[in-house]
Amino acid sequence: MIRSFRRTGALGACTVAVLALGTVAPAQASADTGNGNGFEFTLYAKEVQGMTASQSAQAPKLGDSFAFADDLYKTKDVNGDKVGRDGASCVVVRPGNPMDLQCTGTVVLNGGPGGQLALQALTSVNPNDQAPPAADIAVTGGTGDFKNARGWVRSTPDGDWSRMEFHIATR
104: Cα separation from own chain's centroid = 9
* Minimum mean pLDDT range among 7-16, 26-35, 157-166: 7-16
Q: What is the DSSP letter of 50?
A: -
Q: Which of 59, 115, 129, 124 shows the shortest CA–CA distance to 90?
A: 124
Residue 72 CA to residue 49 CA, distance in Å, equals 14
* Minimum mean pLDDT range among 36-45, 60-69, 75-84, 92-101: 36-45
pTM assigned to the model: 0.77
